[in-house]
Amino acid sequence: MREIVSTKDILINARKGRYAVPAFNIHNLETIQAVVEVAAEMKSPVILAGTPSTIDYAGGDYIVAIAQAAAKKYDIPIAIHLDHFETFDEIKKYIDMGFKSSMIDASHELFKENIKLTKEVVDYAHSKGATVEAELGRLGGQEDDLVVDAKDAAFTDPDSAVEFVKLTGVDSLAVAIGTAHGLYHGEPKLDFDRLEKIGQILDIPLVLHGASDVPDEMVKRAITYGISKVNVATDLKIPFSDAVKKYFIENPDANDPRKYMTPGKNAMKEIIRHKILVMGSANRA
């Protein structure tokens, strides 16, 4: 019988196998069900990611309990991940609650402060069998309540990345190469030369944030250069909400959540299936 896992082995395996594990942002029971049901159907390892506002909304204990039920029900690796958390205390709280994967986002801090905070999180997480992702460089756009202006976005410096990983002992690194949170204004322009260099000089899994709305071929190319985890959020929320809206337009007197949530789940599942195929994680569980 499986339990919730950390992201350590599934991301190391992905890097070795030159595929990526999807990290789908979830919000409640229905979105978790949509993700794990498709992942189980396709035999894909999967990461359920929650931002601070999502965990606050749904309750960390509820997320852990639902994920534990899913892990027992389905024979695939399931990790729950703290996405874009910014303080040690919050991460400690949820690791103690049962989360085994976390992202400390101190990318807005000076380099030395980013190292200091990340190292503190790494030391505690590793003592509890949990893994840590950090970010070097900043993505533009919006991730729930976190907003970064385009002018403040900075690409990841390869040499700084080597020093950062060495000093922190972080398990995976989110790199800024031109992606952005949310939808793009025009086609994204990704710095693949920068990504290729980082992938050659680092031996840990790399993470691509802001992958919603990025063309499939760009995601596939990024995976060949060492991206082992791809975050997807906006691409799931839009079809879910559109399907629920459509249901209410066609059924204005509807009031049963079981009826109006189902079209949302089904629309979300189609995107999940597609993303798993793009990332090459099917039949990797």
Residue 233 assigned as binding residue: yes
Residue 231 assigned as binding residue: yes
- Give the three-state DSSP class for 198: helix
Residue 209 assigned as binding residue: yes
Residue 84 assigned as binding residue: yes
Cβ–Cβ under 8 Å, residues 236 and 275? no
Residue 122 assigned as binding residue: no
- Give the three-state DSSP class for 207: strand
Residue in 9, 83, 123, 242 annotated catalytic: 83
Residue 7 assigned as binding residue: no
Please give the Cα distance from 192 to 72 (Å, whole number).
39
* Annotated catalytic residue 83: yes
Residue 185 assigned as binding residue: no
Question: Which residues on adjacent β-strands are paired with residue 262?
Answer: none
Residue 105 assigned as binding residue: yes
Residue 274 assigned as binding residue: no
Residue 241 assigned as binding residue: no
What does the chain come to in residues?
285
Long-range Cβ pairs for the range 164-167 (8 Å, 24+): 164/111, 164/114, 164/115, 164/118, 164/134, 164/136, 165/202, 165/204, 167/115, 167/119
Residue 145 assigned as binding residue: no
**Apex 58 CA angle, 142 and 153, nearest 5:** 15
Please give the Cα distance from 85 to 68 (Å, whole number).
22
Of the candidates 278, 267, 154, the residue with the CA atom closest to the CA atom of residue 212: 278
List residues forming the annotated binding site for dihydroxyacetone phosphate: 182, 210-212, 231-234
Q: Which residues are catalytic?
A: 83
List residues forming the annotated binding site for Zn(2+): 84, 105, 135, 181, 209
List residues forming the annotated binding site: 84, 105, 135, 181-182, 209-212, 231-234
